[in-house]
Amino acid sequence: MSSRTNPLEELERLFERMSRQFEEASRSWEGATFGSGMEPASLDLVERDEEFLVTVDLPGFERDDVDIEVTDHTLRVEAEREVETEEGDERYIRRERRQASTRRSIQLPEEVDTDAVSARMQNGVLTVTLPKLEVATARHIEIEGE
């Protein structure tokens, strides 16, 4: 008996391994905005019975700095802050506070009721509640005719 391996099985394992690596890489790139100098905001997406709950870390941002947009399947959060500088006799020894912005979009697993979405921000943490859209239940249709 020969103990030759099947080249097609080896090729299939190679494709599976490559697929896993691409999937892992795409998760790490999700929400990144390359070349713009923006840092992507960290977020959590939780599914509950009747809603989705998204929590986004936005340290240093105020409520007025944040813009939220939602469609049936996508939530977009964008935040931008400018540090005001007062011209005067100040001599900075070190200056690290600057304009900052972040942007994040996430696909939602199901449609949401865009009219009932609510958001709250406390201590740099944005919480968005997205009620799921009521899906019509199936109904039986009578057939007319002879």
Could you state, in order of their start, the residue ranges of all structural domains in the chain?
A: 39-131
Question: Which parts of the chain register pLDDT below 50?
Answer: 32-37
pLDDT confidence of residue 120: 96
Taking the whole predicted model, whether its pTM rises above 0.85 is answered as: no
pLDDT confidence of residue 96: 72
Question: In CATH, what number does 39-131 get?
Answer: 2.60.40.790
Q: Nearest Cα to 31, choosing from 43, 22, 23, 20?
A: 43
33 burial (CB, 10 Å; 0-12 / 13-18 / 19+) is middle
